[in-house]
Amino acid sequence: MAERLTVPINEPQIRSLKVGDQVLVSGVIFTARDAAHKYMMENFIKGECPEAERPVYDVLKQGLAGSVIYHCGPVVKKRDDGKYEFVAAGPTTSIREEPYQADVIGHFGVRAVIGKGGMRDRTLRGCQEHGAVYLHAIGGAATLIGECCKDVLGVYKLDFGVPEAFWQIRVEDFPCVVTMDSHGQSLHEKVRSDSEAKLQELLSTA
């Protein structure tokens, strides 16, 4: 049975999860990709927040605490009433955020990152230190996942472009699997090491 995670998520809930656990995420989360992570690092984490960026920082600082970052470049439609809605919202490859993710988790109090493909050692250490997990979303199911995105509550840094902006959304029963936990376990690392061992075995018998 899937574990239900409702934002804001507390640390004991995250620490109770192990790799392989299925979860359903509900609540208010944010999308963020390459430009957004670079922006957070350069403007908020490396030094003092510029005054011009303070309104965005305040939203993220409050909204990301106990929440989730989703690596996603959504397909978005603007309705006649001026509001946005997600048409498709499949996960994007997470490894590009490896230089930033641990710092973002620690600075903003993020409890989970959703994406595809997994991340590496630095992010895994960040999950251990701060009490966070990496959740693998279903690739190739962008429209299905889009149906889990019930409301678009806001958009920030739209000048980055639609895929790269911060989208603040309310999701309901977003299905994921824990593939990196807060105890130093990573299914992605296991697959990689097992594959390398198998390759060496095949090469030695060739």
Helix (H) or strand (E) holding 100: helix 98-108
| Domain region containing 128 | 3-205
Rounded CA-CA distance 25/107 in Å is 22
User: Mean pLDDT across the stretch 4-8?
Assistant: 98
Return the sign of the alpha-carbon dihedral for residues 93, 140, 134, 155. Answer: positive
Would you state the pLDDT for residue 150? 95
Position 66 pLDDT exceeds 50: yes
Q: How far apart are the first and last CA of the chain?
A: 44
Position 183 pLDDT exceeds 50: yes
Number of domains in the chain: 1
Would you state the pLDDT for residue 192? 55
Each residue's pLDDT tens digit, 11-59:
999 999 999 999 999 999 999 999 999 999 999 999 899 999 999 999 9
Whether 37 sits among the annotated catalytic residues: the reply is: yes
Would you state the pLDDT for residue 201? 52
Q: Rg of the Cα trace of the chain?
A: 17
Catalytic member of 37, 71, 136, 188: 37
Cβ atoms < 10 Å from Cβ of 139:
14
Position 164 pLDDT exceeds 70: yes
CATH at residue 184 = 3.20.130.10
Whether the model clears a pTM of 0.75, i.e. scores above it, the answer is: yes
